[in-house]
Chains A and B, each alone.
Chain A
Amino acid sequence: MEDLETFRHRARTFIRSNLRQVSPEELRLGWSGQSEEMELAAVARDRHLQRMLFDAGLAGICFPRAYGGQGLTPAHQKVLNEELVGYEYPLRMQVPNLSPCAAIILEFGTEEQKLRHLPPILRGEALWMQFLSEPSGGSDAAGALTTAVRDGEEWVLNGSKVWTTGAWWSDWGLCLARTNWDLPKHRGLSVFMLPIHQPNIEVHRIEMLNGSREFCQEFMTDVIVPDSDRIGDIDDGWTVTTRWMFHERMLYNSPYVTEPIGLTHGHMDAGVVHAIAQEHGLLQDSAVRERIGEARMLELVTQEMSTYVSESIGEGRLNDQAAALVRLFKGIAQNRIVTLAFEAAGAEGAAWTDDAAAAQSATNFMMRQGGTIGGGTTEMARNVVSERVLGMPRERRLDKDVPFREVPRSRPTST
């Protein structure tokens, strides 16, 4: 196997001669606040960057060579992440495309499925999204109401999925559906793979409080999926989904994901808090300095904590459910950093001009719970930590050991 130093040299040489240097601000803007044309151009650029990495032997570091990966180790991925600091990289190809989606195909796919789907993902040709959450309940993934009915060698899917990032510019969905209503909740589910752009799927873009329209809802009406595009066993979809959610909690810490070290995904970081304080002439104010320091401290601790918990899981000191600790910590820390920026903004938290360092701090503050809701709420993460990591008694539930069709449900809603 290629040793780490040789790999580092190879990665560095490629990155410095082929990729553009970008600021953290530019990468942060990558996700939102731009026109449809700009976003489509950015997606195209990301696909192209993924292809460049693939051609350079730097895509899919921890995927086996048989499926287009490099067959290397998490340590190699970490080296690549270190070398990418300050450079552009295929942001939209990572989460949820490479992990959880490709990671799940690798873990549960048949040989044919892996050979068919993984190489196009690693080449940037196929972009996958998760059809997981439903309008009937975000955190309770096993409560899926989307139904798949067997018809010979095919399945017919009906239902709705929501919170799919960028479904309108993506290609494939990994979809959890109910295949048996007469079994208890967790035992009647199966997972399917389906192309997003087809006549029987209507993609609707959701507008968020900050104006972002990155999330989508899909309405599926008699969508036909061949049985060969089912992943995992019939009615055993929860086995797949448990690992799916594990990969989801690992987020940018997954060994399948390429991510420059130290990049923050929130809308605010210590640099922003500092810039606001500087613009307001408050850099000598000790209360303001504490806020700047706190924001930076939280960034550093978040980073170290994520690494430490994944290594602990790797070493077996913690079980894999402990990834929920990272999800919980990140959500709370990011929420706080956004708050610190808003506090530093003073009256510009009420009204601002676009050239101000504090621009959008109020919008981010208003939306600060994005970090404690998205990807499973922090309340769910706390349940996972206490019940699955610490082994505390589970809450009483009314959805166990009864046919799912008898489980009490929310009244249908329009969204």
Chain B
Amino acid sequence: MLLNLSEDQQFFRENTDRFLSEQVPPDAVRALRDDRRGFDLTYWRRGAELGWTSLLVDEEHGGGTISGAGLVDLSLVAYAFGRRAAPGPLAMTNVVAATLSRRDAAPDVLAALLSGEGIATWCAPVSGPQGWRSTVEVRTDGNDLVLQGEARPVEAAGAAGHLLVTCRDADGVGTTQVLVPASTSGVGLTPMQTVDLTRRFSVVTFDDVRVSADAVIGTAGQATADVDRQFLTYLVVLNAESAGAMQTGFEMTVEWAFDRYSFGRPLASYQALKHRFADMMSWLEASHAVSAAACAAVERESDEAPELVSAAKAYIGQYGVELLQDCVQLHGGIGVTFEHDLHLYLRRVIVDRALAGTPADHLQRIAGVVDRRAGDGVAA
């Protein structure tokens, strides 16, 4: 949860939260389990009208922020999504829209993302302890580009009309991003399994996929900075969403502890359990804090942003699951049934933990920052 919100931001947050509570209450989320897409297109379009996909897009391209700090505004939406375990490709559409806007590319695709009529997703590179590595290769053939390889897991690929593909150049050095219509010949989708009820992931294969050179977003061979930025945005969204899911799970469990009696006493009266609630609350507040700090650092393009974002991902990745599974434990048997709501939030933090680098990956990335700092110290 962010502190010091402006009146506009508060209004925006409340509006989003009210919309989600009406449109996707827990039973509606549960019912989407067997839905092919995992979200309703009309719901998504109405969300886009509320501004969900506009916040990272320049005004000249039809976007706009609430507060002047678009990523902070987006984190409010992401937090509300986590609070409700809400469906919809929030992170992916925003990542693609931001890059199209920044690179002044594909105005039709961008306009469709803004209106909610179109969906696009990002075929992201694989994340690891050193950073990211693309698994799709691009080579030049005359005026065309040819893509070969596969990306996995790709969120919302089945619903997407366009794929932003991060490719490594055939020379092995550069990185190029290409916007590929999903209907292009040679693009293959294989659905994957996941624990989240409403998010859909696919393996996307590129088998000699041929697009014209003007499909490049930004400058061919020089997309590294864009990809770094896309990851920071993605991680900020994942962290805010997990913090929201933690908040809901925690509140549900506190309420349970007051209402549930064993041996003539509420669970909340047992010191052994009270101490666990205190620990959980400290994890929760720490998660809010580091999520907000990392978001603010990315927003102001601080040098510390990658380190803080990794700290947030590592911490929330570990303690988000820790907290929600402790909530399950404190609920007892009911906590592991499908009819209870708690698992909706647990599912969310489990998937968020594993996406875009595990806690262990991000801890090793932080070690890289400590290395550089120690190196600088010696040089000074």
Contacts and interface: CB of A to CB of B under 8 A. Distances in A.
Interface of A: 270-271, 274-275, 278, 283, 286, 289-290, 292-294, 296-297, 300-302, 304-305, 307-309, 311-312, 315, 317, 322, 324-325, 328-329, 332, 379, 381-387, 389-390, 392-393, 395
Contacts of B374: 271, 274-275, 278
B173 interface: no
A76 to B, nearest CB: 17
Contacts of B274: 382-383, 386-387, 390, 392
B282 A289 contact: no
Nearest to B254: A390
A302 to B, nearest CB: 8
A393 B257 CA distance: 11
Contacts of A305: 282, 285-286, 289-290
B362 A382 contact: no
A308 B308 CA distance: 15
12 contacts: A271-B370, A271-B374, A289-B367, A292-B370, A293-B310, A293-B363, A293-B364, A296-B366, A312-B285, A329-B285, A381-B278, A383-B271
Contact of B278 (A304, A307, A317, A386): A386
Return the 6 tightest CB-CB contacts between A and B, nearest first: A293-B363, A308-B289, A386-B274, A385-B278, A382-B278, A293-B366
Contacts of B369: 296
A381 B257 CA distance: 19
Contacts of B360: 290
B293 interface: yes
Contact of A293 (B4, B281, B286, B362): B362
- How many B residues are at the interface, by size bracket? 35 or more
Nearest to B374: A274
Contact of B289 (A274, A301, A315, A322): A301
Given A283-B371, A386-B277, A297 B129 contact: no
Interface in B163-193: none
A119 B374 CA distance: 42
Given A293-B366, A296-B311, A393 B285 contact: no
Interface in B348-372: 360, 362-367, 369-371
B315 A297 contact: yes
Nearest to A23: B377
A337 to B, nearest CB: 13
A283 to B, nearest CB: 7
Contacts of A392: 257-258, 268-269, 274, 277
